[in-house]
């Protein structure tokens, strides 16, 4: 089958939807399909190259904010018209990918609902006000247009599915889930370090200050906390850590892929107190690495984590409850091992890329028949 993947993020991938597209494309190619990724380019000519056996096109793009998605749509539709060969199916990954029209059948995967997502966007300056306002205004019609144009709509979690049913004219979107490479993210027999790990963007929506305030309540515990990621709150976090003498918290910034794998494998506990998510890849990566996870009790996390069985749920926005859960795992080795084992089993049963790819193959066949 000839499959076009349409995204709006960098490729080679640098973040969530890009990695989702990359991993799905690789598995589809292994199964004999031909995959072409189309994403935003720059000024000038269309760029065409191959990355890890995946064909990539980057049509022209002009970042005319807040109309960037509409501009992207014009160039992408022109690109599809100029192609000599037709695709059997076009797979659009939203949000912020252009909801194009095409003679080929369309599968849309909505990774997060912009209308819900933007509610949790923290405004830090006048630019932030503009981003929140324009995204809220444009996010709804863009998603509605994709839903109207697509033969099939899928999403990554039951939480996002419920949002789509509430906000848009859609019934029963197909829940496919997110995936993780369980052969790369795997447990090790002997850990070389001992620390609590957070991986994610440094912004309010991720609950990063819930974690830092929780650590300030646990000064008597002899533990290190590694924070991986970058974002607008880094200077604010650095000042808070210095003011409160939280020397045990280390901001590692962006790390290489290989180092990230090792950080998961050698951590004792993974913490992700986010206030809103579609279905976070980092939680799946941690669970695949055999880590006990402490995550906020938001709907997306409940799709994956069963409290006291394969992880712990903590009250969203409560540093006190988060501190108690972290302390419990640091002190209870038996519980920690049990949750880590069950976390790994959950990934092997439901969230490997082999399983996700098989689901999409069936969806493509259904959509094109």
pLDDT in tens, 257-272: 999 999 999 999 999 9
Task: Please state, rounded to an integer, the average pLDDT across all residues of the chain.
Answer: 90
The pLDDT of residue 62 is above 80? no
Q: What is the mean pLDDT of residues 134-142?
A: 68
Beta-carbon count within 10 A of 50 CB: 8
Residue 219 or residue 205, greater confidence? 205
Q: What is the mean pLDDT of residues 178-206?
A: 94
Q: Tokens 């003679």 identify what position?
A: 103
Q: Which domains does the chain have, with CATH numbers?
A: 2-179+352-368 (3.40.50.2000), 195-350 (3.40.50.2000)
Share of the chain above pLDDT 90, in %: 70
pLDDT in tens, 142-186: 888 889 999 999 999 999 999 999 888 788 899 999 999 999 999
Distance from C-alpha of 151 to C-alpha of 105, rounded to nearest angstrom: 6
The pLDDT of residue 354 is above 90? yes
Give Cβ neighbours of residue 334 (< 8 Å, ≥ 6 apart). none
The pLDDT of residue 74 is above 60? yes
Share of the chain above pLDDT 70, in %: 91
Q: Which residues pair with 57 in a beta bridge?
A: 38, 48
Least confident of 82-96, 141-155, 203-217: 82-96
Greatest extent of the chain over all pairs of C-alpha atoms, in Å: 67
Residue 98 or residue 116, greater confidence? 98
Give Cβ neighbours of residue 309 (< 8 Å, ≥ 6 apart). 339, 342
pLDDT on residue 2 = 96
Residue 48 or residue 62, greater confidence? 48
pLDDT on residue 136 = 61
Structure tokens belonging to residue 65: 């904010």
Distance from C-alpha of 212 to C-alpha of 356, rounded to nearest angstrom: 35
Q: Which of 72, 69, 3, 15 is nearest to 41 (CA)?
A: 72
């Amino acid at each position: 089958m000839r499959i076009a993947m349409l995204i709006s993020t960098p490729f080679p991938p640098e973040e969530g939807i890009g990695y989702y597209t990359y991993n799905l494309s690789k598995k589809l190619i292994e199964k004999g399909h031909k995959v072409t990724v189309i994403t935003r380019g720059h000024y000038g000519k269309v760029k065409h190259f191959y990355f890890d056996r995946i064909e990539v096109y980057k049509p022209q793009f002009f970042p005319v904010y807040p109309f960037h998605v509409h501009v992207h749509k014009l160039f992408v539709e022109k690109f599809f018209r100029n192609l000599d060969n037709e695709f059997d199916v076009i797979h659009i990954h939203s949000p912020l990918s252009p909801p194009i029209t095409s003679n080929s059948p369309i599968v849309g995967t909505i990774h997060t609902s912009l209308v819900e997502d933007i509610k949790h966007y923290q405004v830090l300056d006048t630019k932030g006000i503009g981003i929140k306002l324009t995204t809220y205004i444009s996010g709804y019609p863009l998603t509605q247009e994709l839903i109207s144009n697509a033969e099939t709509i899928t999403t990554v979690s039951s939480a996002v599915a419920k949002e789509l049913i509430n906000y848009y004219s859609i019934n029963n979107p197909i829940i496919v889930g997110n995936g993780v490479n369980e052969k790369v993210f795997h447990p090790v027999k002997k850990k070389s370090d001992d620390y609590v790990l957070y991986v994610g963007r440094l912004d309010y929506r991720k609950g990063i200050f819930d974690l830092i305030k929780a650590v300030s309540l646990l000064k008597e515990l002899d533990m290190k906390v590694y924070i991986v990621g970058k974002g607008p709150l880094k200077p604010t976090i650095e000042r808070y850590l210095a003011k409160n003498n939280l020397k045990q918290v280390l901001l590692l910034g962006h790390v290489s892929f290989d180092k990230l794998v090792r950080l998961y494998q050698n951590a004792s506990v993974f913490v992700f107190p986010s206030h809103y998510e579609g279905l976070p890849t980092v939680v799946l990566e941690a669970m695949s690495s055999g880590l006990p996870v402490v995550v906020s009790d938001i709907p997306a996390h409940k799709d994956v984590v069963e409290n006291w069985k394969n992880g712990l749920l903590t009250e969203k926005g409560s540093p006190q409850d988060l501190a108690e859960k972290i302390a419990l795992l640091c002190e209870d080795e038996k519980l920690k091992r049990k949750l880590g084992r069950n976390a790994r089993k959950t990934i092997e049963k439901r969230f490997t890329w082999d399983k996700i790819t098989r689901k999409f193959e069936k969806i493509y066949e259904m959509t094109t028949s």
